A and B are shown apart, each in its own frame.
Chain A
Amino acid sequence: GAGVSQSPSNKVTEKGKDVELRCDPISGHTALYWYRQSLGQGLEFLIYFQGNSAPDKSGLPSDRFSAERTGGSVSTLTIQRTQQEDSAVYLCASNDPVSPLHFGNGTRLTVT
């Protein structure tokens, strides 16, 4: 694959349900990021994986949010007990250290 791939592209879920969002980074990229984009709020950093280091979880808004990265490649962002304020576009990006980020097209999450 040439770019960062995210799935699903759209997800509608009921309040209180759990969701999983997937990111497949560019092959060989050691760093992987999750951001959230809400209307008028720009890009909000959520979590950052760099190689085998412990992830930087400082941006996760609550303990309902978690992410893992298996085998240094694919990452899954999980939101438990979704709330309406979780509705946003969730963006994944990857890069090599000190190189620009390559973004996926995002997952648009709507919580009803």
Chain B
Amino acid sequence: AQSVTQPDIHITVSEGASLELRCNYSYGATPYLFWYVQSPGQGLQLLLKYFSGDTLVQGIKGFEAEFKRSQSSFNLRKPSVHWSDAAEYFCAVGSNSGNTPLVFGKGTRLSVIA
């Protein structure tokens, strides 16, 4: 069965510092991978996705993620965090057939301090 693990429940970084949020997945076939962000009181917004091709994908708001098949990982990165990046981040995995629902991790809450 598909599963997603986000090992860090809560991360605090200083504004301007770099960020990496970890995501590991378990999936028997070629996965489709996603990162979503949920700002306080807001709905879920897609940051980026990996379907195939280049394993380094660029997303909105300056985020990027790298798919590493050998490590079953899809970590999210940003070189310089802004205070507005404080939010909950969810990694998700789905099938390339589109016939099964996305499975989400439990999320990582990001706090940004001055």
Per-residue CB contact flags for chain B residues 32-46 toward chain A (1 = under 8 Å, else 0) read: 101010000011111
Q: Contact size class for B?
A: 20 to 34
A41 contacts partner chain B, Cβ-Cβ < 8 Å: yes
Residues of the B chain whose Cβ atoms lie less than 8 Å from the Cβ of A98: 32, 51, 96-98
Number of contacts between A and B (CB, 8 Å)? Answer: 56
A-chain residues with CB within 8 Å of residue B49 when the two chains form the complex = 100
Interface segment, one of B19-27, B70-78, B79-87, B102-110: B102-110
Q: Which of A19-27, A63-71, A75-83, A103-111 contacts B (4 or more CB under 8 A)?
A: A103-111
Chain A's interface size range is 20 to 34
Within 8 A of B (CB), among A11-60: 31, 33, 35, 40-43, 45, 48, 50, 56, 59
Residue of A nearest to B101 (CB): A48
A residues sitting closer than 8 Å to B (CB atoms) are: 31, 33, 35, 40-43, 45, 48, 50, 56, 59, 91, 93, 96-101, 103-106
